[in-house]
Amino acid sequence: MSVFLWNAFTFVIALGLLVTVHEFGHFWVARKNGVLVKRFSIGFGKALFSWRDRQGTEFVIAAIPLGGYVRMLDERIDPVLPQFADLAFNHKTVWQRMAIIAAGPAANFIFAIFILWLMYLIGVPEAKPVIASVQPQSIVADAGVRANEQIVTVNGRTARDLRSTNLLLVEQLGRSQLTLGLLATDSGQQREVQLNVADWQFDPERQTVFASLGIELQQPRATTELALVVPESAAARAGLQVGDVIRQIDGEPVNDWPTLERLIQQNAEQNLQLEISRAGQSMRLVARPELVTRDDGFSQGMLGIHPVVTPWPEGILYTQRYGVIGAIGEGVSQTWQLTRLSFAMVAKLLTGDVSVKHLSGPISIAQGAGDTASMGLIAFLAFLALISVNLAVINLLPLPILDGGHLMYLVVELIRGKPVSEKAQEIGFRFGALVLLMLMGIALLNDISRL
């Protein structure tokens, strides 16, 4: 299956599942409150499959798998006979209507907890955030952070593993100071350092949050030993072979893969004098990198080689696994962390601490679904939990077209004692639709620019 088809398939599965969960929340609570649900649709447009249950609800799987909806009996939309008025949504109390609206996002939060519970019941591979080296004149170097220290807290919050540490650091964007709790792996001593992050620049498309601070973690590392030489490439024509270790390029020592990659990329169509080690013997070769143009239009040199990657350092990897009860607590804790981060990112978008160029749309989500599904069940489940929380948070935003906007109107009705006028609601819905379409357009353009 091609990458495109795989991404599309996993995207439809992931989105369909999350939308079903969300709409089922509305459906279930509506039924519990005596509202007649006329249609439960997964997707939009032409119905591909449909059936009815005993209570008259039509269940539909539609042709466009980009959302869904639950249509309830409502006098503002449908003509309702007097004897069926008590089945209409608009005849329910404000609290009942609020419960029905809030049930969609609530279902996504509960689903995230369930997914994370399942993950921690199976066992989640994790890595400790242990520092391998510190980049000179970086934010962490100025704060006195040292190699072989493990990050254990970020602004007082526990950082147990690499993934949670990454989320906690991203959450601190926009602050002027950041406190790291560090554990020396050799002595076991703990200390805290203050990082000045007023000028912290982080571009998630180009670097990790750790690299943006000047941290290199203990993790698999690409070496200058060759694991693959692409047939008929510039490297093959130069005589390079699998197992060769590149020591120097034009007399400049090459001790790591990033240095090697940089020298190759910067010297397209230039003869490079290579000093290599082959089976313990030193040799000299001449290689001429080909000029290639990337999808983004940027041109660079390429030899056609891939490095040997070292295994994880000893003691870094471990598995987090809990019993039935313990996994519930962990699922709740991780869902809360994702929720807090999601709301924080929305706030940072509004304040400008995070650029709108980092918004992701359906293409990026599809790529994420495909990549994580390829990595295995645990990675795909983690992706589902993240997107489920994001879907809940987005729907709770106070935009009239979203669940949060409907809740906002109901809160106003609760305070005033009467509904918001239909004219005011219509204006609000138009404004909300405009804002949402604008954000979706930006996200889609971002997706296209990343292709």
Fill in the DSSP letter of residue 397.
S
List the one residue out of 179, 102, 126 whose CA is nearest residue 410.
102
Let me know: does 186 contact 146? Beta carbons within 8 Å.
no
How many beta carbons lie within 10 A of that of residue 320, not counting itself? 15
- Return the bridge partners of 355, or none: none
State the Cα–Cα distance between residues 108 and 21, nearest whole angstrom: 6
- Return the bridge partners of 134, or none: 215
3-state secondary structure 265-334: HCCCCCCEEEEEEECCEEEEEEECCEEEECCCCCEEEECCEEEEECCCCCCCEEEECCCHHHHHHHHHHH
Q: Which two tokens stand for residue 2?
A: 């091609």
Which ranges of 156-239 would DSSP assign to H, the alpha helix?
162-171, 209-213, 234-238
155 dihedral zone (left: phi>0; alpha: psi -120 to 50; beta) = left
Give the CA radius of gyration of the chain: 27
- Name 147's Cβ contacts closer than 8 Å, sequence gap at least 6: 131, 132, 133, 134
State the Cα–Cα distance between residues 289 and 160, nearest whole angstrom: 43
State the Cα–Cα distance between residues 168 and 336, nearest whole angstrom: 12
Q: Measuring CA to CA, how many Å separate 216 from each of 140, 221, 376?
A: 11, 10, 26
**Number of residues that this document lists for the chain:** 451
Beta strands in 135-196 (DSSP E): 149-154, 157-158, 177-184, 190-196
Which residue of the set 23, 171, 261, 330 is catalytic? 23
Let me know: does 233 contact 189? Beta carbons within 8 Å.
no
Contacts 24+ apart (CB under 8 A), 349-355: 351/174, 353/173, 353/174, 354/173, 354/174
Whether 75 is catalytic is no
List the one residue out of 340, 320, 339 whose CA is nearest residue 330.
320
Let me know: does 405 contact 118? Beta carbons within 8 Å.
no
State the Cα–Cα distance between residues 4 and 182, nearest whole angstrom: 43
Q: Which residues are catalytic?
A: 23
